[in-house]
């Protein structure tokens, strides 16, 4: 009988062994979740930096030429420009595509933007970004627009840089943050 008892104890795990396995699994899960959070925070910082860089380039062009990039209507500003806007002080319609071509030709940004539809750069989350004169919830102005931003991160950006309400302030979204769908963020220039 004693021999039988000893054999039965050797077939399973002790509570200490099970506890160690659970601790290790918990640490792995925590590490993965923290890693994902770090990646998302890095993307948010990159998006904010993209907005700041775009704003600086936009106003640098305006200071240099006296017109907004994309909206300029002079064939020689900047040199080799193939697309001209209407010069009305508003980057509207297809002028949003001309904007990046003008910034490259002026030597303000790097890239190969040719002023055609779809040639604008991508934001940190893979969607397009551009500047456009538009009405956002009653406020008509130039807005830096960023497409396909995850809802929880769009709300985080709005809370950090504005009022946290999707349809007011200088950072706005196309819909409420409680909806899980990706958002378009509009950042007032």
Residues 179 and 151: beta-carbon distance below 8 Å: yes
Residue 10 placed within a domain: no
- Residue pointed to by tokens 């933007």: 113
Q: Which residues contact 148 (CB under 8 A, 6 or more apart)?
A: 123, 125, 126, 127, 182, 184
pTM attached to this predicted model: 0.82
Q: What average pLDDT score do residues 2-26 get?
A: 72
pLDDT at 9: 54
Residue 1 placed within a domain: no
Digit-coded pLDDT (tens) for 114-161: 899 988 999 999 999 999 999 999 999 999 999 999 999 999 999 999
> What torsion, rounded to 10 degrees, do the Cα atoms 29, 30, 34, 36 define?
10
Q: 3-state class of 30 per DSSP? A: helix
Residues of the chain above pLDDT 90, percent? 70
Distance CA 60, CA 63 (A): 5
Counting the structural domains of the chain, the total is: 1
Full domain range(s) for residue 166? 39-188
We report the CATH number of the domain holding residue 115 as 3.30.1690
Residue 83 placed within a domain: yes
């Amino acid at each position: 009988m004693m021999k039988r008892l000893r054999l039965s104890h050797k077939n399973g795990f002790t509570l200490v062994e099970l506890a160690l396995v659970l601790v290790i699994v918990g640490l792995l899960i925590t590490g993965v979740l923290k890693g994902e959070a770090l990646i998302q925070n890095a993307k948010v910082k990159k998006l904010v930096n993209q907005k700041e860089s775009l704003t600086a380039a936009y106003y640098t062009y305006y200071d240099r030429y006296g017109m907004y990039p994309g909206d300029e209507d002079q064939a020689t500003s900047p040199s080799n420009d193939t697309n001209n806007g209407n010069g009305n002080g508003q980057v509207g319609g297809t002028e949003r595509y001309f904007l990046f071509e003008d910034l490259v030709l002026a030597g303000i940004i790097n890239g190969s933007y040719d002023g055609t539809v779809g040639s604008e750069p991508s934001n940190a989350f893979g969607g397009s970004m551009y500047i456009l004169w538009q009405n956002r919830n009653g406020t008509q102005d130039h807005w830096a627009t960023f497409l396909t931003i995850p809802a929880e991160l769009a709300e985080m950006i709005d809370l950090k840089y504005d009022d946290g309400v999707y349809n007011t302030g200088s950072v706005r979204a196309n819909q409420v943050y409680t909806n899980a769908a990706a958002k378009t963020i509009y950042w007032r220039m």
